[in-house]
Amino acid sequence: MASNLILDAKVMLNLIRVSAGGIAQFLIGTSSWVFLMRIMSEFGSEVLAGYTIAIRVMLFSLMPSWGMSNAAATLVGQNLGAKQPDRAEKSVWITGKYNAYFMAAVSLLYLFFAKDIISFFNTTPIVVERGALCLQVIAAGYVFYAYGMVLTQAFNGAGDTQTPTKINLVSFWVYQLPFAYLAAFTLGWESTGVFVAITTAEVLLAVIAMIWFKKGSWKKIQV
């Protein structure tokens, strides 16, 4: 009934504050991929096609990993709500470990069968070559990516959406995009420079997230 409805501005503002970090994370990540696509377009349509196929394959294989990362966020929220911060931390590291196992298996699949995977979608030699190299280079950092995904989602689960936003900003805008441009054009690595930038940015994100997570400030967040 309408008489039971109450406008609670404090709760609404708190929801906006918490969600703003999540929105920013999505925008930072999405915009960085757009700019990477723009850099890749400089090397021809076939190279761009190989890169696009590789990224689509990568996103498909990451679905289970995203599921485990979201589970970590839920576990953190539940355990912090139950006043069990140590159990929340333990659940994150356990989830990260199993996610790393999964990602390691996927990375081995890419390292050995990258060309077969890309050629299933396109048999043009340059498309297969660049797409396969993209998968292999990115796969080299998959174990780090596994922990990075879980830890950033753990921050979100604790209600600390600002920390992963800052980490994403540093990893993708401050490091990844400038390095991709420098490696691709200044160093002459071309598309390989973009692939290396993606991998090293994910490694950087994971390392920063681990250091920040161990500080434990997320345990004191009040939502």
How confident is the model over 192-216, as pLDDT tens digits?
999 999 999 999 999 999 999 999 8
Residue 123 has pLDDT above 60, yes or no: yes
In the prediction, which pLDDT does 180 show? Answer: 97
CA distances from 121 to 13, 37, 56, 90, 98 (A): 47, 19, 11, 41, 30
pLDDT tens-digit readout, 62-121: 999 999 999 999 999 999 999 999 999 999 999 999 999 999 999 999 999 999 999 999
pLDDT (tens digit per residue) in 145-196? 999 999 999 999 998 989 999 999 999 999 999 999 999 999 999 999 999 9
- Measured distance CA(175)–CA(206) in Å, rounded: 13
CA angle 98, 32, 223 (to 5 degrees): 60
Q: Kindly state the average pLDDT of the residues 45-52.
A: 96
pTM value is 0.89
Q: Supply φ then ψ for residue 90, to 5 degrees.
A: -60, -40
Of 12-21, 53-62, 131-140, 149-158, the least confident: 12-21
Q: Please return the burial class of 222, using the count of CB atoms within 10 Å of its CB with bins 0-12, 13-18 and 19+.
A: exposed
How many angstroms separate the CA atoms of 8 and 17, rounded? 14
200 in Cβ contact with 179 (< 8 Å): yes
